[in-house]
Chains A and B, each alone.
Chain A
Amino acid sequence: MSTTATAPVPGGPQGKPEQAKERKQTVSAKPVTWKLPVTLAALATVAFIFFGLMGPQGTAKFGVSSGGDFFQLPAIEVPAFLSGIVLSVILLGLAGYALTQKAKRNQRPPRWLPVVFTVVFVVAFLIWVVGGARTPSISLAGLIAGSVTLAVPIVFGSLSGVLCERAGVVNIAIEGQLLGGAFTAAIVASMTDNPYLGLLAAAVAGALVSMVLAVFSIKYVVNQIIVGVVLNVLISGLTGFLFSTVMQANKEMFNSPGRLPIIEIPVLSSIPVLGPILFKQSVVGYLMYIAVVVVWIGLFKTKWGLRVRSVGEHPQAADTLGIKVNATRFWNVTLGGAVAGIGGSFFTLVAIDSFTKEISGGRGFIALAAMILGRWNPIGAFFAALLFGFADNLQSIVTIIGTPVPSQFMAMLPYLVTVFAVAGLVGRSRPPAASGIPYVKG
């Protein structure tokens, strides 16, 4: 978040006159660094050594169809060692291509290259993990469906982050919004016996948490990160306290929300792999897809979105044009909170049917990471969240099938990837220029 538009060479010495000239040139043509090619090369080498040379000898079996599918596809069986070699050689080739591009023409690799690299890497990794397991067979359909399920709150959280940061407010309080949503959903749904009311209440609760963030960071100009951090603690304490005093005392009355039903769309839901993901979800799951699309269209295709983004990039210019900067920020942050609140309801209305302390378990922070990895774009954030859901799901599957990789390292993976991402090793991530900077007119 620190690489603002005025400082394209982060960390490097700036401010001296001669370097200022250099900088002007680099602004027009983005600096082509060695970072990406070198990182790719390093990763490819790691893949070649571990997935290729030291790869397992067995075959990895991936089930594609599940029982009730529309039509059955045969399970895919791949020889782990051979495919490890082949895939890692492909990776080396991609990395080599990126290196030559940089060395000979001083060009950055084409945009598809990192994406293809990631996909091939993940496939090679998966084959390596499954091939080396005690029971080298997993259901691909189950893996992907589980990933989407685990990703739901992360997607909502990262959308909240996108909405806030695009308007120029850093939202560290996603965790608190998720937790507040989860708690309120549980208690309202229990008291009214209506999970849909719980869902609505979760959105309101998330919005309320966000309003505190908005009031403190916009009206009182308190540092947004401080407010976010403190809000997380506050919500954690508040829900924990009320859980112990109110919910524990009368579980029937206050902590038995019941679940939102899974709505299955006939025929479509029995398409292998894709069916369960797209057409066999709870209301929250469907809302997730809708929210991603709506936020994307809203931000990038409408007048409202243009205004929001201008407020996040250059509030002064926006103000000059007559956009109410702080009002825009306030309502965007509130909207973001409502979105995160809905995501929070997933914990208590879909995943499990009761609230426990700290039920969000740090997913708000992963959502923050997903937002950055997705480069402040709703669709990017969606896929980043899926990646994290995938890692999360793989971790539990890996513990079941028994693999050489300790499950703790699997759990660590999303965080490591995020560190690499923010360090700019996996391409450059640039936040909205005014994100985190309060706007005071005058």
Chain B
Amino acid sequence: MSENNEPRRSAEPDPERIPKTQSPDAAPQDPLEDDADFVTTLDTAGGAMRPSAVPVSAQSGKLPGAEEPDSVLRKIFTGNGIVTILAVLLALILGGLLIAATDKVVAATSSYFFARPTDFLSAVWSAATSSYVALFQGSVFNPRGSGIGGQFAPLMETLTIATPLITAGLGVALAFRAGLFNIGAQGQIIMAGILAAWVGFALDLPVGLHLLLVLVAGVIGGAIWGGLVGVLKARTGAHEVIVTIMFNYIALYFLRYLLDTDLFQRPGETTPISPILDPSALYPQIFGSQYRLHLGFLLAIAATVFVSWLLNRSTIGFEFRAVGANPKAALTAGINVPRATILVMTLAGGLAGLAGVAQVAGTEKVLTDGVAATYGFDAITVALLGRSTPWGTFAAGVLFGAFRAGAVQMQIQTGTPIDIVLVVQSLIVLFIAAPPLVRAIFGLNPRKKKAATAGKSQKAATTGGAA
């Protein structure tokens, strides 16, 4: 391993790079003025500066002052779009190979591989494709379903599962944009679930008001749990990754404790499960009672719109992004960084709280210690796949929702364990995080050019993975 890993970057010393040690009284240059230079400042200054947590691709081109016409075509053909598609493809291929490698028919045909290689290859193909076909049928469209309603039932299931993924993913993404790693969506979902469920089954309120209170209680629960992390981070400098991981466990054990008490445990039940929420506390189902899809999905859409507005159109969102891009510069520019940290974690917690509400008031209708399932952790991969943009997160949430929903069907039909979804998901995120790797695998890496102009655009692309 040579230390000269980024030849493109090290080849051209950049005079524009920020000084290694920032003297506090240096002229505060507006970091948001020039997009291209801004990307450069995200460099770590040779290891002296903390890199931004935000994918550069999510920041650049989105900042005002560098507003460019963002045509879909341009996005697709400027690299990141292609890399995303290729990363998904590559992960699916690797997942398919893994399925094939553990398939019995494949193992049987491999014993006479040299006699009849076609048998082996077709077995590999059918093992992988049959799993993926089952995955598709379980998540989008099932041709064997009864009527149009039955055929699209899997899609409804996908959207149901996508709901908590989207909202929790938005929470993670929002924090990412402010430079914070919110690993704590899991705990925030749990805390929201606890409060929302308690309001849901313990209080007796009129229709409408009850659901509203459930919603508010859940969001507040998540917001407090997230905001607490923000306070710790802002006041004491505790690293949010560690704090959120610990908070996840604290929330989980707190939930387990509560489910052991009379307050939360269903009367006459020995297993840790709460009473069912009152009907007045439940989300109405959007397309009737035959599907599980509930109002939470519409709220997820609304949340996406809200986060999109917040990040791109509001002052607070601008502050968040400035803090995420460079906290020191943000401070110099007069932004109250501790306040932004607390606020963004509170909002992130509130969004994750929305996922908790969707679970107890929509999908599950009760509180168990599995209320958050693994949504909180999946939310991280969702946000990463969505490159921390609101609508990207939305799309990623639907994709992973489809994986989850389809995996159940896949396991029933082909016996492929659900865990393959975890493998594919994590591979996708790994590949997306390292565009040069994906390009190298598909032979798309442009030859190293000397021209500085070409180097500049490439650099912007490669630092996209640096986040």
Q: Complex formed: what's the CA distance from A94 to B89 in Å? A: 62
**Nearest-Cβ distance from residue B364 to partner chain A, whole angstroms:** 21
Q: Does A15 make an interface contact (CB < 8 A)? A: yes
Residue interface mask A10-26, B partner, CB < 8 A = 1: 11011111011000000
Q: Are A419 and B246 in contact (CB under 8 A)?
A: yes
Count chain A CB atoms within 10 A of each CB in B6, B238, B434, B463 and give the residue with the most: B238
Q: Are B242 and A368 in contact (CB under 8 A)?
A: yes
Which residue on A lies nearest to B53, using beta carbons? A223
Which one of A61-69, A73-81, A123-131, A433-441 is at the B interface?
Answer: A433-441
**Nearest-Cβ distance from residue A171 to partner chain B, whole angstroms:** 12
Q: Are A233 and B46 in contact (CB under 8 A)?
A: no
Q: Does B50 make an interface contact (CB < 8 A)? A: yes
Q: Does B33 make an interface contact (CB < 8 A)? A: no
Q: Are B331 and A419 in contact (CB under 8 A)?
A: no
User: Which residues does chain B contribute within 8 Å of A293, judged by CB atoms?
Assistant: none
Q: Does B408 make an interface contact (CB < 8 A)? A: no
A residues 205-260 in Cβ contact with B at 8 Å: 212, 214, 216, 218-223, 225-227, 229-231, 233-234, 236-238, 240-246
Contacts between chains A and B (CB distance < 8 A), count: 238
Q: Are A438 and B245 in contact (CB under 8 A)?
A: no
Q: Complex formed: what's the CA distance from A368 to B243 in Å? A: 11
Q: Are B422 and A234 in contact (CB under 8 A)?
A: yes
Q: Complex formed: what's the CA distance from A231 to B433 in Å? A: 12
Q: Are B53 and A245 in contact (CB under 8 A)?
A: no
Which one of A180-188, A284-292, A403-411 is at the B interface?
Answer: A403-411
Which residue on A lies nearest to B463, using beta carbons? A221
Q: Are A222 and B381 in contact (CB under 8 A)?
A: no
Q: Complex formed: what's the CA distance from A319 to B246 in Å? A: 36
Which residue on A lies nearest to B332, using beta carbons? A15
Which one of B228-236, B282-290, B447-455 is at the A interface?
Answer: B228-236
Q: Are A327 and B384 in contact (CB under 8 A)?
A: no
Residue interface mask B31-52, A partner, CB < 8 A = 1: 0000000000001101111110
Residue interface mask B1-21, A partner, CB < 8 A = 1: 111111001100100000011
Q: Does B396 make an interface contact (CB < 8 A)? A: no
Q: Complex formed: what's the CA distance from A369 to B245 in Å? A: 9
Q: Are B246 and A369 in contact (CB under 8 A)?
A: yes
Partner of B417, one of A168, A212, A244: A244
| A408-B47 contact, Cβ under 8 Å, with A229-B183, A368-B242 | no
Q: How large is the interface on B (under 10, 10 to 19, 20 to 34, 35 or more residues)?
A: 35 or more
Count chain A CB atoms within 10 A of each CB in B6, B331, B377, B427 and give the residue with the most: B6
Partner of A327, one of B3, B181, B466: B3
User: Which residues does chain B contribute within 8 Å of A220, judged by CB atoms?
Assistant: 433-434, 436-437, 465
Q: Complex formed: what's the CA distance from A76 to B389 in Å? A: 62
A residues 361-381 in Cβ contact with B at 8 Å: 362, 365, 368-369, 372
| A227-B232 contact, Cβ under 8 Å, with A240-B422, A440-B46 | no
| A11-B47 contact, Cβ under 8 Å, with A16-B24, A221-B465, A245-B417 | no
Partner of A315, one of B13, B21, B47, B238: B47
Q: Are A2 and B46 in contact (CB under 8 A)?
A: no
Which one of B78-86, B250-258, B350-358 is at the A interface?
Answer: B250-258
Partner of A14, one of B235, B331, B384: B331
Q: Complex formed: what's the CA distance from A79 to B242 in Å? A: 39
Q: Does A316 make an interface contact (CB < 8 A)? A: yes
B residues 412-440 in Cβ contact with A at 8 Å: 416-417, 419-423, 425-427, 429-430, 433-434, 436-437
User: Which residues does chain A contribute within 8 Å of B245, judged by CB atoms?
Assistant: 365, 368-369
Q: Complex formed: what's the CA distance from A163 to B311 in Å? A: 39
Q: Does B249 make an interface contact (CB < 8 A)? A: yes
Q: Does A267 make an interface contact (CB < 8 A)? A: no
Q: Complex formed: what's the CA distance from A411 to B253 in Å? A: 7
**Nearest-Cβ distance from residue B376 to partner chain A, whole angstroms:** 12
Q: Does B116 make an interface contact (CB < 8 A)? A: no
Q: Does A172 make an interface contact (CB < 8 A)? A: yes
**Nearest-Cβ distance from residue B247 to partner chain A, whole angstroms:** 7
User: Which residues does chain B contribute within 8 Å of A222, judged by CB atoms?
Assistant: 430, 433-434, 465-467
| A237-B421 contact, Cβ under 8 Å, with A220-B465, A438-B466 | yes
Q: Complex formed: what's the CA distance from A179 to B398 in Å? A: 29
**Nearest-Cβ distance from residue A84 to partner chain B, whole angstroms:** 24
User: Which residues does chain B contribute within 8 Å of A1, judged by CB atoms?
Assistant: 239, 241-242
Q: Does B237 make an interface contact (CB < 8 A)? A: yes
**Nearest-Cβ distance from residue A424 to partner chain B, whole angstroms:** 5
Q: Does B260 make an interface contact (CB < 8 A)? A: yes
Count chain B CB atoms within 10 A of each CB in A1, A17, A330, A369 and give the residue with the most: A1
A residues 338-389 in Cβ contact with B at 8 Å: 357, 362, 365, 368-369, 372
Which residue on B lies nearest to A241, using beta carbons? B419
User: Which residues does chain A contribute within 8 Å of B10, judged by CB atoms?
Assistant: 440-442
Q: Are B239 and A221 in contact (CB under 8 A)?
A: no
Q: Complex formed: what's the CA distance from A223 to B432 in Å? A: 12
Q: Does B275 make an interface contact (CB < 8 A)? A: no
User: Which residues does chain A contribute within 8 Å of B260, judged by CB atoms?
Assistant: 406, 408
Q: Does A324 make an interface contact (CB < 8 A)? A: yes
Which residue on B lies nearest to A228, using beta carbons? B241
**Nearest-Cβ distance from residue A363 to partner chain B, whole angstroms:** 11
Q: Are B384 and A230 in contact (CB under 8 A)?
A: yes
Q: Does B170 make an interface contact (CB < 8 A)? A: no
**Nearest-Cβ distance from residue B263 to partner chain A, whole angstroms:** 13
User: Which residues does chain B contribute within 8 Å of A225, judged by CB atoms?
Assistant: 53, 181, 241
User: Which residues does chain B contribute within 8 Å of A357, judged by CB atoms?
Assistant: 419
Q: Are B331 and A11 in contact (CB under 8 A)?
A: no
Which residue on A lies nearest to B256, using beta carbons? A408
Q: Complex formed: what's the CA distance from A3 to B233 in Å? A: 10
Q: Does A418 make an interface contact (CB < 8 A)? A: yes
**Nearest-Cβ distance from residue B128 to partner chain A, whole angstroms:** 13
User: Which residues does chain A contribute within 8 Å of B462, judged by CB atoms?
Assistant: 221
Q: Does A422 make an interface contact (CB < 8 A)? A: yes
Q: Does A412 make an interface contact (CB < 8 A)? A: yes
Q: Are A11 and B235 in contact (CB under 8 A)?
A: yes
**Nearest-Cβ distance from residue A422 to partner chain B, whole angstroms:** 4
**Nearest-Cβ distance from residue A309 to partner chain B, whole angstroms:** 14
Partner of B429, one of A16, A230, A325, A406: A230
User: Which residues does chain A contribute within 8 Å of B47, judged by CB atoms?
Assistant: 168, 315-316, 325, 434, 437-440
Q: Complex formed: what's the CA distance from A212 to B426 in Å? A: 13
Q: Does A4 make an interface contact (CB < 8 A)? A: yes
Partner of B254, one of A2, A325, A408, A419: A408
Q: Are B236 and A10 in contact (CB under 8 A)?
A: yes
Partner of A234, one of B20, B241, B430: B430
User: Which residues does chain B contribute within 8 Å of A415, judged by CB atoms?
Assistant: 246-247, 249-250, 253
Q: Are A409 and B249 in contact (CB under 8 A)?
A: no
A residues 304-330 in Cβ contact with B at 8 Å: 315-316, 319, 324-327, 330
| A230-B426 contact, Cβ under 8 Å, with A221-B465, A316-B20 | yes
30 sample A-B contacts, Cβ–Cβ < 8 Å, listed by A number = A2-B50, A6-B21, A11-B236, A220-B437, A221-B465, A225-B181, A226-B429, A230-B381, A230-B426, A233-B426, A237-B426, A238-B423, A240-B422, A241-B417, A241-B419, A316-B20, A324-B3, A325-B3, A326-B2, A327-B1, A408-B253, A411-B249, A412-B250, A416-B246, A419-B243, A422-B239, A434-B47, A440-B9, A441-B3, A442-B10
With A245-B102, A422-B243 known, 5 other A-B pairs at CB within 8 A are A10-B237, A223-B466, A226-B433, A233-B377, A244-B419
Report which B residues bind A (CB closer than 8 A). 1-6, 9-10, 13, 20-21, 24-25, 43-44, 46-51, 53, 98, 102, 181, 183, 232-243, 245-247, 249-250, 253-254, 256-257, 260, 328, 331-332, 338, 377, 380-381, 384, 416-417, 419-423, 425-427, 429-430, 433-434, 436-437, 462-463, 465-467
In the A-B complex, the 10 residue pairs with the closest CB atoms: A10-B237, A237-B422, A240-B419, A244-B417, A439-B47, A234-B426, A408-B257, A442-B10, A220-B434, A1-B239
